[in-house]
Chain A
Amino acid sequence: MKGLESLGREVARQQDEALAEARAVAQASAALEWPAERSLRWPLLAVAAVLVCVVAALLVVPRPIAVETAGVAVASWVSAEAEAPVTFSDGATLLVRAGSRFQVEKLHEHGAEVRLERGAVSVSIPHRDDTRWTLAIGPYTVKVVGTRFDTGWEPSSQTFSLVMHDGAVRVVSPDGTTTQYVAGQTVTVSLSPPVAPDEVDALAEPPPTRAPGPPRAAPASWKSLAQRGQYGDALAAARRAGWAKLGATLPADDLALLGDVGRLGGDVKAARDAYGRTRARFPRSAAADTATFFLGRLAFDERDAAGATKWFERYEAEFPNGPFGAEALGRRVELTKDAVLARRYLERYPTGPHSRLAKAVLGGD
């Protein structure tokens, strides 16, 4: 006999007795009544009129979008000690990498202006006709109208990087020339000659800016290349160093970074391998938290709905208070259009980046 099932049967039996004694069904039957619909008509009309006025006012007076992430304020520099998402009320998300320094300079009704002084950021901005986002990445300016891409600036090597996933952006170089980049393109531009890793670490101040030059490969360790945002070169360097050996010996955070190198360097298989090892070797760690989310992201980007759902569900189960909780649940809503998930999302993140989608799933509730 199974304990819980036996207990459940006994509880049901006792409850049926109690309900019968209380004549609960008869009471419920006597209490059944339909609401008076007519009496609701005028109050509802009054509420509707007020709502129309409010909506009209909102339409007439444009309001800037808002930052939804605690601790990030307009015109304040933020140094990210760990990788963290910054979300905005228009649905945009900036996933700021550890060690980055950035500032939200200005918010307006169609987007924002963000400056990245150093580090790297994964950008996801929903496309609308009037979207207008500008990211100042070091001396480069990236103009966005709705896209997903990774970008970064490493002052010590004067290196700008851009990996396009979706859509298109226009990049204004320091010399004023504008170039459009589209999905699938990867750009790495160094404004200074390559330097040895030791020299990079010893640089207290960035070197003087030079004229833009062609992409270069710096002879450095995979990690320092990754930290500069040179993921393609970092991937090649990691392979030369022995991918399997790195996977078996690196500490947690470096192993997750190796996964990032695979992902941003364009080798999905390598990324999965490193993230999988992170989870296996350091379960329940912050690095495993990141790895789990990005395993979902990899599947999501490959349009593998079942795989993505599995990983995002696992993320929610294993890291209920993790930093990517909103993003993981939001992407599950995106994948499944499930009303229960949409409701849960709105309860937890009422103004989150997927809140509009969740409301749409619930039929505008």
Chain B
Amino acid sequence: MVTAKVVQLPVSDEAALVAAARAGERVAFEKLFRRELPSVVRLLGRLVGHDADLPDLANEVMVLGWKALRRHHEALRFGAFVSGVCVNVARNHLRARRRRRWLVFGEPDADLEAPAREAPREALQATFAVLKTLDDELRLAFALRFIDGRELTEVAELLGVSLATAKRRLREAEDEFVARARQHPALEGWLASARWGGAS
């Protein structure tokens, strides 16, 4: 599992900024958000792939997060709160992208890996090529669990479903991913290695 480089704020600092943001201080919110920005970009990348829209999506997370925080009256950890907003923004983006593909025949795939680099990242490219074919909810579950390395309870919480539903979606995502990944030579080695990680 890749360890996320999370900047851990002192509790009092984060709590004070969250309180100020809830009271309408947008500067306080932006300060909090900028500290989380690396995590936000990374998570959005996990969920939607390497996309030219990543900066816009991060901006959308900030604007929606600002509105949502002021309606959110329970205690929270800001990082977890922003992750939840990221998932919603990613979900909407995937849906919109799917609609665009229907409307504009032949639009190039946006969620494949960025081109032209010294070492081709075949696993990355092939994985997102397969994820692109999955149902959006299955794709989100898969990305959170296997690429972002989230625990099952976090996956359920971020998707807004029960633990049982999250497990079921992960099982389904895993089955579909493995079935479709067999058509990609770059993933053969991974498919062949040992048994698959279970969702339970």
Contact = CB atoms under 8 A, between A and B. Distances in A.
A313 B147 contact: no
Interface string A112-141: 000000000000000000000000000000
A24 B113 contact: no
B54 interface: yes
B194 interface: yes
Contacts of A19: 41-42, 45, 50
Nearest to B192: A3
- Most chain-B Cβ atoms within 10 A of its Cβ — which of A17, A21, A28? A28
A56 interface: no
Interface stretch (A6-14, A63-71, A173-181, A247-255): A6-14
Interface in A23-62: 24-25, 27-35
B196 interface: yes
A317 interface: yes
A21 B117 contact: yes
Contacts of A33: 59
Contact of A3 (B38, B161, B195): B195
B63 A34 contact: yes
Contacts of A32: 30, 33-34, 37, 58-59, 62
B38 A25 contact: yes
B58 A28 contact: yes
Interface in A311-327: 313, 317
Given A12-B148, A31-B56, A25 B160 contact: no
A35 B147 contact: no
A9 B55 contact: no
A240 interface: no
Interface string B34-49: 1001101110011000
Nearest to A310: B164
Nearest to B30: A32
B146 A7 contact: yes
B194 A2 contact: yes
Most-contacted residue by chain B among A4, A32, A338 (CB, 10 A): A4
B75 interface: no
A22 B161 CA distance: 34
Dominant SS at the A interface? helix
Given A29-B34, A34-B26, A24 B41 contact: yes
Q: How large is the interface on A (under 10, 10 to 19, 20 to 34, 35 or more residues)?
A: 35 or more
A15 B147 contact: yes
Given A12-B149, A21-B117, A31-B59, A7 B123 contact: yes
B97 to A, nearest CB: 16
Most buried by B among A5, A11, A19: A11
A31 B55 CA distance: 6
Given A31-B58, A340-B160, A6 B124 contact: no
Interface in B1-39: 1-2, 26, 30, 33-34, 37-38
Interface string B178-200: 10000000010011111111100
A15 B177 CA distance: 19
Interface of A: 1-19, 21-22, 24-25, 27-35, 313, 317, 338-340
29 contacts: A2-B196, A3-B194, A4-B196, A4-B197, A5-B146, A8-B147, A9-B1, A9-B149, A10-B123, A10-B190, A11-B123, A11-B124, A11-B127, A11-B128, A12-B2, A14-B124, A15-B42, A18-B124, A19-B42, A22-B50, A22-B114, A24-B41, A24-B54, A25-B37, A33-B59, A35-B63, A313-B164, A313-B168, A317-B168
